[in-house]
Structure 1
Amino acid sequence: MNIQKIMKEAQKAQKKAAEVQEKLGGMMVVGSAGGGLVEVTANGHGQIMGVKLKPEAVDKDDLEALEDLLLVAIQDAQKKAHDLSEKEMSRELGGIGNMLGGMF
């Protein structure tokens, strides 16, 4: 394989990776904690887009429990966003997708 062909393939992969990154910005995942008492929505980049609390999640005498639930739900949403990103990169770019996914 010549260097020009390799460069052309790399440019194609880079363009495809940019398209996947744009697509991920519009995809949403939901992380939850406490059996759904707290839900956190994130986009495919892991940016938090929204938080929903059920009234029974709020106990003014135990705010620490709510803080813990929020932290778990945020971490769950971010993990799901990371997994989604890896899956999309792998699906669209094959083996090189995992390598490029770590760059974004």
Structure 2
Amino acid sequence: MDIQYLMRQAKKLEKAMADAKEQLAELSVEAESGGGLVKVTMNGKCEVTRLLVDPKAVDPADKAMLEDLVTAAVNAAVEKARAAADEHMARATGGIKIPGVAG
């Protein structure tokens, strides 16, 4: 095997991974809970970019319900964001499983 060829391939893979990681911030997923009472938008880096709470979900007498709805929506968004990031990184690496890297 040609070591120079392997080095070039490794550099290409490294660049593809770096580009893909940068693009994760542009990826967007949305999740909701309570039948849409709480909606969370998150990017591919698992950063919440938007949180919407329907006024119907705000009941001062039942603060715990709102907390549960927000928690559920955020957790669902994290799951979707991770899955989308894994898929995105898998495309960037050609499906190669690299420890410590999404995909």
Does the TM-score normalized on the shorter chain lie above 0.5? yes
What is the identity percentage for the equivalent residue pairs of Structure 1 and Structure 2?
Answer: 38
After superposition, the C-alpha distances for 1:19-41 in whole angstroms (9 at most, x for unaligned) are: 11111111211121111110111
Q: Matched residue pairs, number?
A: 102
Query: What does residue 98 of structure 2 align with?
Result: 99
| TM-score of the two chains, using structure 1 as the length reference | 0.88
- Secondary structure of the residue aligned to 2:87 is helix
Query: What does residue 17 of structure 1 align with?
Result: 17
- Secondary structure of the residue aligned to 1:35 is helix
2:101 maps to a residue whose letter is: M
Mapped partners of 1:43, 1:37: distance in 2: 20
Mapped partners of 1:9, 1:25: distance in 2: 26
After superposition, the C-alpha distances for 1:9-62 in whole angstroms (9 at most, x for unaligned) are: 111111001111111111211121111110111111111111000111111100
Runs ≥4 in structure 1, deviation > 6 angstroms? none
- In the TM superposition, what is the alpha-carbon distance from 1:70 to its structure 2 partner? 0.5
The alignment status of 1:74 with 2:68, answered yes or no, reads no
Q: Mark the runs of 5 or more structure 2 residues left unpaired by the alignment.
A: none
Q: Mark the runs of 5 or more structure 1 residues left unpaired by the alignment.
A: none
- The answer to which structure has the higher helix fraction is 1
| TM-score of the two chains, using structure 2 as the length reference | 0.89
RMSD in angstroms over aligned alpha carbons?
Answer: 1.5
